[in-house]
Amino acid sequence: NHCYGHAVDAQRYLDKFVKFTIALPETVDTNAHRESIAAIEHYKNLVRSSHVLEDMKLYECGSIRTIKQIIIANRLSLREVETIVRHIEIYVTLAQSNNLQSNTNFGYKVLTILAIAIYSIQPEV
């Protein structure tokens, strides 16, 4: 739309080049043979594989419950989940006092994750 104006239907224009549509499943089968929301599993995998976040255990207990509710309430895509994790990594790298360590008060940890998620999802807020 930016290049060709609003008179051109962007979807029809892109259809000239991209012939396939792939819908990713919203749920995945976990190792426990239970279905889980794909975005939540993606978050867990990203946090576990992050060299910056590996010791923080942000995929357990209260931290994962907070992120899970954020993902569900906002129906976040996999790309949006990656943005949140990237912002958490930036926070951990730049913060003088880290409120995400595993021994941090639960309330501070939840508030920090919530603030980062809000910034990632709705920066205007």
Q: For 24-61, how does the pLDDT look when each residue is reduced to its tens digit (9 = 90+)?
A: 778 777 776 777 888 998 999 999 999 888 778 787 77
Answer yes or no: is 7 within a domain: no
Answer yes or no: is 1 within a domain: no
Which band of pLDDT confidence, cut at 50, 70 and 90, is reported for residue 112? confident
CA gap 53, 57 in Å, rounded = 7
If one counts the domains in the chain, the total is 1
Answer yes or no: is 60 within a domain: yes
* Residue 1: per-residue pLDDT: 58
| Mean pLDDT to the nearest integer, 104-115 | 82
Answer yes or no: is 4 within a domain: no
Domain hosting residue 86, numbered range: 25-121
8 A C-beta contact, residue 114 and residue 63:
no
* Residue 6: per-residue pLDDT: 62
Answer yes or no: is 14 within a domain: no
pTM: 0.73
